[in-house]
Amino acid sequence: MAAVTQAYRFALDPTPSQQRTLASHAGAARFAYNWGLHLVQARLEQRRVDSTAQVPWTLPDLRREWNQAKHQVAPWWAENSKEAYSSGLDGLARALKNWSDSRSGRRKGRPVGFPRFKKKGRARDACRFTTGAIKVLPDRKHVQLPRIGVLKSHESTRKLTRRLDLGTARILAATISRQADRWFVSFTVEVQRHVSAGNGERTVVGVDVGVRHLAVLSTGVRIANPRSLECQLHKLRRLNRQLARCKPQSKRRRQTRRALARVHARTANLRRDAINKLTTALATGHGTVVVEQLNVAGMVRNRRLARVLSDAGLAELRRQLSYKTAWYGSRLVVADRFYPSSKTCSACGWVKDKLTLGERIFVCEACGHVIDRDLNAARNLAKLIDHVARSGRETVNARGVDVRPDPVGLTTSKREAGTESHRVRPAPVSA
């Protein structure tokens, strides 16, 4: 058994009074965040004149300042749970830490900017509870939160209730959030999961992800891309035009904004549903899953492909596979970013000099093998398992630019996404 932290998310059916209470707590968290950010900015300006000025940078410091000033800046603070204000200050402390770590080089990835103020109607409405009466009631239809009380859930909570009854789960926190006109509660739970050495499957599957098909497996199976955003574009265009013609602060504008938010929520739900089903099927149906390490952040900089790439959610697919393979006892192998899976012939191992995105059929000049481009890449990924070390749940084939796999004994000077003109001599074909 291993302790795993995971989340259980349920939709809520609050009464109108409870909806106002939920919105009040989310607004209190936003108010505390903006108040703390204004205080930090003022103290930073003061430090330029007086070097002894103390800037509240961590959550304990921000809480101390808030407790001293809350009676003056927010005399209505007692209407909401203290956790609402702590939630906003905690978000600010995390944002400040991310900014400072990014400047000093301790945080990887793209640079993080200084925190900005949250505006009502634009920022995400959310509030986190870490203490107090946080419960999932035994009837599997209600949940209880501090100060808000008992809320009816739109869906059954049996999956979490069963674990709580068996003593294999412990609730750490609860977060309320609003998506479109629907309220949700997410429970952060420490779960005792049985991590097996294997899932009983010995098959190896290569997965080539893309936008034409969400995934093409080395077994020949093609998973259709739901294209959730593309299917909703006509509705989004119509509602955005309608929103632009509405009078500001009017009732019709509020109705149109809610309708627009519902379309965006449905788009995200369709994408999330497809990725969850695919990753679960891969992790439970195969012993080893081989995927590519794609530079999605760099790929979306192409303005012609940015929308369809974002609609596919390729990075989310890799993220879910990383923890689901560990849950279900399978293994994830990640090919190096520069491994030429699409340019390599899956029959003889010959590496093509150049392959454009428009070429959907791979034709081998060495052995004459003709195959679909995506299926060829998936089969090459499946063969990669014979050339990597089996050292854990997730194995990275190579790290960095200077270390690249060479499974067929040929030079790998050409990158998968590159257009270098280095010629590779075809491998001899036996009669």
Residue type, 69: A
Cα–Cα distance for residue pair 87/78, rounded to 1 Å: 15
Q: Which one of the listed residues 90, 125, 208, 311 is annotated catalytic?
A: 208
| DSSP per residue, 293-337 | ---HHHHTTSTTTHHHHHHHTHHHHHHHHHHHHHHHT-EEEEE-T
Contact criterion met (CB below 8 Å) for 277 and 322:
no
User: CA torsion sign, 80 to 83 to 89 to 91?
Assistant: negative
pLDDT at 359: 85
Amino acid 182: pLDDT: 93
Residue type for 303, please? R
In this structure, the strands spanning 135-136 and 213-217 are: unpaired
Give exposure, 137-165, as e/b (b: 16+ Cβ within 10 Å): eeebbbbebbbbeebebeeebeebbebbe
What's the pLDDT score for residue 66?
Answer: 95
- Which of the 8 DSSP states describes residue 153? B
Q: Which residues pair with 184 in a beta bridge?
A: 11, 177
Rg (CA), the chain: 26
pLDDT digits (tens, 9 = 90+) for 125-162: 999 999 989 999 999 999 999 999 999 999 999 999 99
Give the model's pLDDT for residue 27.
96
Q: Which of 125, 292, 336, 416 is catalytic?
A: 292
Please tell me the predicted confidence (pLDDT) of residue 385.
78
In 3D space, the residue among 356, 349, 414 whose CA is nearest the CA of residue 380 turns out to be 349
Residue of 83, 311, 336, 374 marked catalytic: 374
Eight-class DSSP state of 79: G
CA 253 to chain centre: 31
How far are the Cα atoms of 19, 28, 169, 184 from residue 151, in angstroms, in the given order? 10, 19, 21, 11
pTM, 2 dp? 0.82
**Facing residues of 153 across strands?**
12
Nearest residue to 64 (alpha-carbon basis) of 75, 72, 56: 56
Phi/psi of residue 145, each to 5°? -130, 155
Tokens of 424: 């590779």
Q: Where are the beta strands (DSSP E) in 119-197?
A: 126-129, 135-136, 142-145, 149-152, 169-179, 182-193
121: alpha, beta or left? (left if phi > 0; alpha if psi -120 to 50) = left
What does the pLDDT read at residue 386?
A: 65
Averaged in consecutive runs of 10 residues, what is the pLDDT profile of the chain (431 residues)? 89 95 96 96 92 91 95 93 95 96 90 94 92 92 94 94 93 95 95 82 90 90 92 95 94 94 94 94 92 87 89 91 90 88 88 85 87 90 70 46 41 42 38 31
Q: Name the token pair of 319.
A: 């993220």
208 counts as catalytic: yes
Residue indicated by tokens 């009854």: 165
CA separation for the pair 14, 18 (Å, rounded): 5
Q: What is the pLDDT of residue 305?
A: 86
Can you give the pLDDT at residue 322? 92
Parallel/antiparallel/unpaired status of strands 394-396 and 149-152:
unpaired
Alpha carbon 370 to its chain's center:
37
For the question of residue 292 being annotated catalytic, the response is yes
pLDDT of residue 396: 52
